[in-house]
Amino acid sequence: MLNLVSIISSPKGGGAELLVRELQKIYISQNLNAHAIYLNGSSDDLIDNETVLGVNPRSPLNIFRIRKVLKQLSNRACGDVTVHVHLTWPFFYVTLATLGLSNIKLIYTEHSTTNKRRNIPLLWVLERLLYARYERIICISQGVQEALAKWVGPTIAQRLVTIPNGSRIYAMVQRPALEGRLPRLVSVGSLSSRKNFATAVRAIARLKDDIDSYTIIGEGPERAQLEQIIKSEQLEGKVKLVGWSDYIESHLHAADIQLIPSLWEGFGLVAVEGMSTGLPVVASNVDGLREVLDESNPSVTLVNQVESVDDWISAIRKSVADVQAWGASSLAQTSRQQAEKFTLDEMAERYLDVYRQL
C-alpha cells in the first residue's frame, strides 16, 4: 500500500496549494494512506489527514518539526513513505529533515520556469546538492522541465518528468452576445510584479470607452501600485480590485474575456479554469501558458511583447472582434475542449504512476 505525505507552506492559494488540496481529496476518496502537512495557515476547512503545524514557513526550526512529524508517520506506516514536496521553503527544509531516515522517498514538483534563486551566482552548486536528494522531480510543463534541466545539469536532469497540472473544471455558462453591450474582462492571480497587471490596466485605460469593466481577483504586494494607476487614469468605475475570493467561478461566469498578462508562468492553472467556463483568453505568449492554451485554438489570442501596452490593446480588440464574429457559444465550445485536456483525475493518476515506480 502506498504511504503518501505532501508538504507545502500553506493550504490557501491559487496554484500549488490548490493542487495539493485537490489531490489529497482524490487520494482520500481512493482510501489511500495519504497525509498533507501545511507549515502555516488556517485549519478551518481541513479534511482527513490534513495538518497545519502553525509555524513560520521560513523558520529553520522547521527542519526539526518536519523531521518529528515524518518520523511519527513513518513509524506507523507499513513500508516506505513517499514524501511529495512543493515550493521553496519545504524544498530546502525537507531535504535536511529527512537525512538519515531510511524509509523515506522524496519527490519534488517544480512549479515555475524561473525564480529569484537562479539569479544568485554559484547558488546552483548548493541547489544541485539539494535537488539530488529527490528521486523524481515533476515539472508541470515542458517549459519548466527545459529551464530546470539547464539549472541542475545533465545528471539530475535524468530524474525530471513532465506531468501537466490538472485543474478544477467549472460549469460552462451561456454568455449573451456582445451586440448592443460592451465586454466584461477578468483576470485571476496574485497582485505581484510577475503577473504584470499594471500593463493590462494601462491598456484598459486606453480602451475604457470600449470596455464595460475589468475585474482582477487576487491580492498581493502590487495592490498600492495598481490602485495608483487606476486613480491616475481615472478608472475607479472601470477597474475593480476585488481581492481574494472563494467565488472565482462566479466571477468567471460574469465575464466575456479572460486576460492573463503574466511575465512568466509554469503552467497557467487560471487559464484552464477560465476556459472550462467557456471564456476566450488573451494571454502572454510565454512557456507554460503557450503549452496550455494552444494558439491554433480560435478562442486564444497570444501577446508576444508582454510588456507592450500597444500589443495588449491590439490583442484585446482582436479577441472582442473574434467573439463578435464567431459567436460566444462557438468559442465557448473550443475553450471547453482545451480545458478538458487538463483534469485533476488525470494528474492524480500520473502522479500515482510515479510513486509506484520508485
Is 348 found in the same domain as 334?
A: no
Cα separation, 87 vs 85, in Å, equals 7
pLDDT of residue 319 exceeding 90, the answer is yes
Rounded percentage of the chain residues whose pLDDT exceeds 70? 100
Phi, psi of 321 (to 5 degrees): -65, -35
Residue 301: its pLDDT value, please?
A: 98
278 near 290, Cβ under 8 Å?
no
My answer on whether 350 and 242 are in the same domain is: no
Same domain, residue pair 64 and 117: yes
On whether both 57 and 143 belong to a single domain, the answer is: yes
160 shares its domain with 283: no
Distance, CA of 243 to CA of 85 (rounded, Å): 28
- pLDDT, tens only, 124-161: 999 999 999 999 999 999 999 999 999 999 999 999 99
For residue 189, give the DSSP letter.
Answer: S
Is 176 domain-assigned? no
- pLDDT by residue (tens digit) across 64-117? 999 999 999 999 988 899 999 999 999 999 999 999 998 999 999 999 888 888
Instruction: Residue 278: name the closest of 252, 303, 298 by CA.
Output: 252
Instruction: Write down the pTM of the prediction.
Output: 0.86
Please check whether residue 21 lies inside any domain of the structure.
Answer: yes
Does any domain span residue 142? yes
CA–CA dist 315, 265 (Å, integer): 19
Whole-number Cα distances in Å, 58 to 10, 55, 98, 330:
12, 9, 17, 48
Q: Indicate whether 135 and 217 sit together in one domain.
A: no
Rounded alpha-carbon distances, angstroms, from residue 148 to 20, 87, 108, 151, 253: 21, 14, 12, 5, 36
Residue appearing with cell numbers 534541466: 149
- Whether 80 is covered by a domain: the verdict is yes
Residue 296's SS3 state is coil
Our count of domains for the chain comes to: 2
Give the Cα separation of 33 and 211 in Å (integer).
50
CB crowding 88-107: b at 16 or more within 10 Å, else e: ebbbbbbbebbeeeeebbbb
Mean pLDDT of 175-190: 94
Question: In this structure, what CATH number is given to the domain that contains residue 56?
Answer: 3.40.50.2000
Pairing assessment for the beta strands 136-139 and 257-260 based on DSSP bridges? unpaired
Residues 97, 159, single domain; the answer is: yes
Distance, in Å, from the CA atom of 271 to the CA atom of 280, rounded to the nearest integer, reads 9
Do 154 and 47 fall within a single domain?
Answer: yes
In a domain, 239, yes or no: yes
φ, ψ (nearest 5 deg) of residue 277: -85, -5
d(CA 210, CA 112): 35
Q: Please tell me the distance from the alpha carbon of residue 278 to that of residue 339, in angstroms, as a whole number.
A: 9
- Residue count (the chain): 358
Angle at 188 between CA 183 and CA 194, to 5 degrees: 115
305 and 352 in a common domain: no
118 and 157 housed in the same domain: yes
Residue 253 CB-half CA count within 13 A: 10
Beta carbons within 8 Å of 231's beta carbon, 6+ residues apart: none
Does the pLDDT of residue 62 top 90, yes or no?
Answer: yes
Q: Is residue 217 part of a domain?
A: yes
Looking at the predicted structure, is the pLDDT value of residue 13 above 80? no
- Band the pLDDT of 12: cuts 50, 70, 90: confident
d(CA 116, CA 202): 26
Cα dihedral 101, 105, 109, 113 sign: positive
Asked if residue 174 is part of any domain, the answer here is: no
Report the alpha-carbon distance of residue 76 to residue 138 in Å, rounded: 27
Claim to verify: residue 32 and residue 158 sit in the same structural domain: yes
CB 184 within 8 A of CB 255: yes
* Residues paired with residue 108 on neighbouring β-strands, in sequence order: 85, 137
Q: Are residues 111 and 239 in the same domain?
A: no
Does 172 reside within a domain?
no
- SS3 (DSSP) at 187: strand
- Segment 24-48, tens digit of pLDDT: 999 999 999 999 999 999 888 899 9
Backbone angles phi, psi at 80, to 5 degrees: -70, 155
Report the alpha-carbon distance of residue 123 to residue 117 in Å, rounded.
7
Average of per-residue pLDDT across 34-63: 94
Residue range 283-310: mean pLDDT, rounded: 94
Helix axes 309-326, 328-339, angle to 10 degrees: 110
Q: Which domain holds residue 281?
A: 184-339
